Amino acid sequence: MTAASDLCFFRSADGDLAYRDTGAGDLVVLLHSGFADHRVFDAQIPPLAAEYRVIAPDVRGHGASANATRPFRWADDLAGLLRHLDAGPAVLVGVSMGGAIATDTVLEYPELVRAVVACGAATSEFEYTDPWVRRVQAEQAGALAAGDVEGWLTAFLRFVAGESRTLGDIDPDIPRRLREMAFGTLSKHTPDEENHHVPLTDTWARVPKIDVPVLTVNGDLDAPDLIAEAERLARTVPDGRSVTVEGTAHYPNMEKPEVFGEIVADFLRGL
């Protein structure tokens, strides 16, 4: 678990953005999933930091980072941090929302990115069509509107196991950790808060121009929509490939950290 004293802060134009900075060497940036924070990568940070400089930010509005008070884009925040660090170009490794941020950033700021690993994600232009996922999303939205934090957390955690399993089928430490992170992020916001995030557009039209290596990683039990989009990304870029982690859903990095870590390490060694 990261202590507050281990975090650094980048003074952006709209508040301080937190990040962990450890190790030395070529730059690897770890981008967490929605409602969580950099601790999603607790199992990956130490081994990666033995060979690389690892930056693990808290995305704006998450963890220890400031909430937005005006329009912002994920890619702009990350580009600002990378330029502040005067390091890179970076290999971006993202899970879920973090994977979309990685892809968006290479589209907007190709000079700052050396390669991309997107886990359970493609670009940020995505909408679920899977009926099970849409039901879970509706439960989350209803709970949030009613101010039912526990109901929202329960629905949120269904993504951890996937449709074919229950939380009882996985290591209980995983939902415990994600619950703690999500509760911390959720407590920073109010139900009627304005969403200042500005989405990217025309991302898929630009994907064929991505000229860095791209690896997509999918849990075989994840939502079919997500698997299909990630594999589409790997097929569409000039230098892309896809890997599946058996017996995992949306968080292969947490369910099988050693397997995920070796996949990322192999990719890095091949650059």
Residues 220, 96 share a domain: yes
Q: Are strands 113-119 and 240-245 parallel, antiparallel or unpaired?
A: unpaired
Asked whether residue 191 is assigned to any structural domain, the reply reads no
- Count of domains for the chain: 2
Q: Which amino acid is at 229?
A: E
pTM of structure: 0.96
Give the Cα separation of 176 and 184 in Å (integer). 12
Residue 97: per-residue pLDDT = 96
Sites in the chain below the pLDDT cut of 70: 1-5
pLDDT for the residue numbered 147 = 83
Residues of the domain holding 80: 4-128+196-269
Same domain assignment for residues 79 and 30: yes
Q: Name the β-bridge partners of 95.
A: 119
What is the per-residue pLDDT for 5? 56
Give the Cα separation of 114 and 91 in Å (integer).
5
pLDDT score recorded for residue 121: 95
**Do 203 and 118 form a contact (C-beta atoms < 8 A)?**
no
DSSP bridge partners of 7: 20
Separation in Å, CA 19 to CA 6, 77, 133, 219, 235: 9, 12, 31, 27, 32
Does one domain contain both 14 and 86? Answer: yes
Sign of the alpha-carbon dihedral angle for 242, 99, 159, 166: positive
Q: For residues 105 and 16, state if they share a domain.
A: yes
Question: Cα separation of 269 and 48, whole Å?
Answer: 12
pLDDT of residue 146: 86
Name the one residue in this structure whose structure tokens are 């490794």: 93
Claim to verify: residue 220 and residue 98 sit in the same structural domain: yes
Q: Which of 41, 28, 15, 38 is nearest to 85 (CA)?
A: 28
